[in-house]
Amino acid sequence: MTQPGYLAVTVEQAHRVCVLSVSGELDITNTAHLFRAAAPAVAADSECFVLDLSGLAFTDVQGARALAAITHHIPAACPVVVQETGPCVHRVLELTGISLQPSRSSLAAAANPEDRARELILRCQQARSAAREPMARSRHMGRQLAATETLVADTFTRLAAHKPQNAERLITVSQAARARATRYRQLASNTP
């Protein structure tokens, strides 16, 4: 449980993703603190902005407006992801109609085909940018799985040499593990 009026704001930047974490209680008395602490996040040159509200226990209308003001100052080329709004915060946003998603020019609002094409290109760039880190993690996980399956295969092969009565079954398990390792390596190398 947080102390009444307590507000903690942290900004983390990693791999061109900026995470602004807000926890405690946000109200009219500490929105100025929020703005000061969030300034580096708004000014950061990021490909993605994440607003993590998982630790925010309470907000009033002024606090919700402050959060919206911050997300609305994020450049249009940077997607905004709002994470983990608790029921209290969600209810305030719902009742007031305040959106933490910045209004972006929509594809339908584009006046001519060139504007629509630019908007589509921007959306593609945003999607590619948002996918880079998960794809890198996926490749890394594939390599780790392949290494683990190779260790499993080696272990069962050595075990088969020591347990001749179970050798056939152990060799079969070893071969299956090697096949999985090969498949994981292929998947890791084929991931764009």
Calculate the average pLDDT of the chain.
83
In sequence order, what are the residues at sequence separation of 6 or more whose Cβ sits closer than 8 angstroms to the Cβ of residue 122? 76, 77
The neighbouring-strand residues paired with 189 are none
In this predicted model, what pLDDT tens digit does every residue of 164-191 receive, in sequence order? 999 999 999 999 999 999 998 888 887 5
Average pLDDT, stretch 150-171?
93
> Which pLDDT band, with edges at 50, 70 and 90, does 5 fall under?
low
The residue ranges of every structural domain in the chain are 7-96, 134-190
Classify domain 7-96 by CATH architecture.
2-Layer Sandwich (3.30)
In this predicted model, what pLDDT tens digit does every residue of 91-137 receive, in sequence order? 898 898 888 887 655 444 445 666 666 666 666 666 666 666 677 77
> Could you tell me how far CA 45 lies from the centroid of its own chain?
17
CA distance 156 to 175: 9
Burial code (b: 16+ CB inside 10 Å, e: under 16) for 48-58 equals bbbbbbeebeb
In sequence order, what are the residues at sequence separation of 6 or more whose Cβ sits closer than 8 angstroms to the Cβ of residue 33? 7, 9
Q: What is the 3-state secondary structure (H, E, C) of the chain?
A: CCCCCCEEEEEEEECCEEEEEEEEEECCCCHHHHHHHHHHHHHCCCCEEEEEEEEEEEECHHHHHHHHHHHHCCCCCCCEEEECCCHHHHHHHHHHCCCCCCCCCCCCCCCCHHHHHHHHHHHHHHHHHHHHHHHHHHHHHHHHHHHHHHHHHHHHHHHHHHCHHHHHHHHHHHHHHHHHHHHHHHHHHHCC
pLDDT of amino acid 189: 83
pLDDT of amino acid 106: 46
Contact 116, 110 (CB under 8 A): yes
pLDDT of amino acid 1: 39
